[in-house]
Structure 1
Amino acid sequence: MKKITIAIDGFSSTGKSTVAKRIAKHLGYVYVDSGAMYRAVTYYAMQQGFIDSNHFNIEGLVENLKAITISFKFNNALGFAEVYLNGINIENDIRTLEVSSFVSKVAEISEVRQKLVEQQQQLGKDGGVVMDGRDIGTVVFPDAELKLFLTASPENRAKRRFDELVKRGDRVLYDEVLKNVEERDYIDSHRKDSPLVKAEDAIEIDNSNMSKEEQFHIVLGLVDKRINSI
């Protein structure tokens, strides 16, 4: 059976990674979290002092991109691949609200996008891949056999993100999370390089009032239909 490329785009906290991981595991495909790659670069920029709440040394980050190596290693206990920065596991470090507050600004930088898009295309060059992000169906894999675009209301997405952060022990306020969601939406949708837009041939799924299980079965149905049509 032919292995296809599945591109899943959408706004933050729409459950892209969750459904992408399940679909990839179900099909035996490779899963690539492109958002984690941008978070890794953001985390590096924070650690090196290139970005904080008061300044962003874009030139410094761009000059040091060659020093960044991002990789994924499958964790059997967790059932998914964790992200590594220069050989160090940073899976938990990149999931904080602080990283979230800077990642869209870092993702705006053309040199950053060029570096990561090249890596993403290499990872998926042979098909059999599920990749989620902001520009997968429009830039990374414009010829993907199946493109999905996930959306939900900002309030619903902020509540999901808030619950995740609280569950892992982070001390955050819902209003802070909602503000972050809305700010990321604006930056992602208005950046000059590869803005977040729905590909013309993408299937839109509004999961505002949908459970993870419902979304999984809807997406799986679309996947099966597409594979059987080839």
Structure 2
Amino acid sequence: RVVDMFFSLHGAGVAAPSPKPVKRTASTATPPAGAGHDAGEPWGDAQDLRAFFDLGRAAAATPPPALGELLWAHLSKQLPASAFVLYAYDVADDALVAIYASDPAATGDPMEPIPLGERLSGWVAATGQTILNSDARLDLDAAVREQSPLRSALAVRVEAHGRTSGVLSFYAAAPNAFDERHKRLVEAAARVMADTGLVPTASRNDARMSQNRASSITSMSATVR
């Protein structure tokens, strides 16, 4: 499965653009200057394949409470992120709950649940659209927002069987820190996470979810630049 996912991303030997449109309602209006620059050494196809094979194999044997630490260990060296939060979708409260934070001092400890459709990660969970380089402070609790050094966010939904199960949110201190390669990398990691049982199987209130999606698109369009 991991190998098939990798080749579907890379197509004919070249990293393909994301199937979702690059323009994001809640992200910057245009790609950041220097978006083609990668942090560290670029991966080759063989390295990508090996990395996702290792991640998929490790994730299959990892209980949900340890998935955040596993993801951070595999991805932190490939991303310019200084903090990472793994959110799980809580069906009962219709909200995202942080189940792992790599740097609680930077992102808040404890972190408040994020209602679906609110902030950056809640908007990603509601719409399924990736956020690239929005202001990371918009995702943080009020208690740490103003003094936070974080300036960029890359957030991707984890989806299982057509339903939101969580969000992978990476944060960096530099503005416009993430590029398209980083986005594809995290989107691929989210696909690996799709079958890990991040949250218990439960039915979702689809009417409420649809309402939250519509309201979140309107509110985020007005507040995120």
TM over 0.5: no
**Higher RCO (C-alpha under 8 Å, 6+ residues apart):** 1
Report the TM-score when normalising by structure 1: 0.28
